[in-house]
A and B are shown apart, each in its own frame.
Chain A
């Protein structure tokens, strides 16, 4: 009797340790609590250049992540990059005249989308589009512009 009891205790300990490890992986190692399952809505934005942006890149307002990029495709007519973003339902009061820009975290870091809220009374909802956009800055272009302007002066 006592033998099978210790067996049960040890197995219970094993299973709970395994579950604890899974919980650590879920909450401490990955970002489940900050951006987990929850409900979302998607919005679009067209950029003339979305270089460096990837699916799962962050979408932020005031530097706080509120969603992720879920899809990037080229519009076959305008040749603009149409970026689909999935935004957390908690942030559903973004005005329609907000503008979205592609920024870089640090000088060479990851690209992310920053949304600056506008002031219109209408709000963005499922499937709506952000019209005011600012494309990503391509570092090579900036450098070449700088170099050419330097060489003209000198």
Chain B
């Protein structure tokens, strides 16, 4: 009987202590951002590895998602004689939802897993302890630039995804299925609002950037320093990011709609 309570207590204490450690580490990391500005080289290198290298997959998938939206939207709208509204359908679904969410999922798979594996291996090969021995703070040298780079890259990637997707929809809708080019753009511009829709998507992608990059960085930093530990931390990064991104997306949409 008491064992049972003790177990519940143990689980909750370890849950909250993990949460507390994570939050403290998060604030320690963000506190390093100001010092980081004096060494932009570190950030540039990380933007290269998380942002520039994810660009190809983001642009290609954005293009295909846009084309699929064009096809599907046209097939549904043509029944109502409303195929001129195709631009609105494509742009709103991309800017408000698919842009930030799909980008975050792809980013977690492409950049998040790499971040976790990199930091986990640094820990397994005791490079992090080595840094500490040399009086270099690994939080400042390793975690902060990666987190900042992720926060900078995500909105840019999501914007590229949406923009390319709109052109993909244009290609299918206007060039292939014969929707009038003028009404594709003009209806889109009439219905998509800058503050309500575009900024909404940007806010979402910034939040996803913080969350996904932080999960990746933290999982790597806190993993068991063995090859098995690194591999399970990498898996956790992708699974947790996907779940949290989708859950948060619902919350953010409900809050901002």
Contacts and interface: CB of A to CB of B under 8 A. Distances in A.
Interface of A: 4, 7-8, 10-11, 13-15, 17-22, 24-26, 28-32, 34, 36, 56
Contacts of B70: none
Contacts of A21: 156, 159-160, 162-164
Interface of B: 41, 44-45, 47-48, 51-52, 55, 91, 95, 152-153, 155-157, 159-160, 162-164, 166, 185, 188-190, 192-194, 196-198, 201-202
Nearest to B55: A14
A115 B193 CA distance: 23
A18 B95 contact: no
Nearest to A65: B190
Top 8 nearest A-B pairs by Cβ distance? A18-B156, A21-B163, A21-B159, A32-B194, A30-B192, A30-B194, A21-B160, A22-B159
B44 A11 contact: yes
- Which applies to chain A's interface (DSSP): helix, strand, loop or mixed? helix
A34 B193 CA distance: 11
A19 B51 CA distance: 13
A18 B193 contact: no
Contacts of B152: 15
A31 B159 contact: no
B156 A30 contact: no
Contact of B162 (A14, A19, A25, A36): A25
Nearest to A13: B52
A14 B51 contact: yes
Nearest to A14: B52
Contacts of A31: 189-190, 192-194
A26 B201 CA distance: 12
B141 to A, nearest CB: 18
A26 B163 contact: no
A4 B48 CA distance: 11
A24 B163 contact: yes
Contacts of A56: 193, 196
Contact of A10 (B48, B162, B166): B48
Given A11-B48, A18-B156, A30 B198 contact: yes
A11 B52 contact: yes
B194 A18 contact: no
A130 B17 CA distance: 62
Contacts of A32: 194, 198
Nearest to B45: A7
B192 A29 contact: yes
Contact of A14 (B47, B201, B202): B47
